Structure formats: structure tokens, C-alpha cells
Amino acid sequence: MGERKAWSEKRAEIMSRPGAGAAYEAARIRFELGEAVRLRREELGLTQSELAERAGLQQPAVARFEAGGTMPTIPMLERVAEALEVRLSVQFQPLREAS
């Protein structure tokens, strides 16, 4: 059996691979968008099915979105924002200021 590595070592190894940083960033964005949608949906007391109906989507699409499984288009984000009664805001931040 091989020696076990600490998570920090394994993560550093994975992140050093070509394209890993971009893939990680895309996954982070999908997760954060999905979490924001889920939190707002729950705040409004809506089910995934109710949100889907309001946004013109199917419930499985909302579930995938909330789980971070899809990268939504701007038109989809606009429909979801309207259904959630919020204003969509897209912005660019310099990397050194981004958290």
C-alpha cells in the first residue's frame, strides 16, 4: 500500500495540473450561483417546482442549477432573477480584490 497524502498535498498536486485553476473557478462560480438561487428560493418559501414554473423551466433544471451542475446562460439568469423577484447584477472584479 502506498503512503497516504494529506489533503493539502493532494489538492496542491491536482491544482498544479494544466487547466485545473480554470476548472476550479468555473465550479466555484456554478456552486455560488446555485447556492444564491436556493437561498433566495427558500427565503420566498418556494419549491423547486414553483420556481421552475415561474421561470419557464423544468424542476430538474432548477435542481441541477442549485447543485452547481450547470453553467447558466445570461438569459436563464435573467428569467430566474425575475422569478425570484431580484435584480440580476453581473460584475467584473480585479483578481487581487476578488475573494
How do the residues of the chain divide into helix, strand and coil, expressed in percent and rounded to 5? 60, 0, 40
Coil/strand/helix, residue 33:
helix
Mean predicted confidence (pLDDT) in 48-60: 98
| pLDDT of res. 98 | 60
pLDDT > 90? residue 35: yes
Apex 43 CA angle, 40 and 46, nearest 5 = 85
Whether the pTM exceeds 0.85: the reply is: no
Per-residue pLDDT reduced to its tens digit, 4-19: 888 888 778 877 888 8
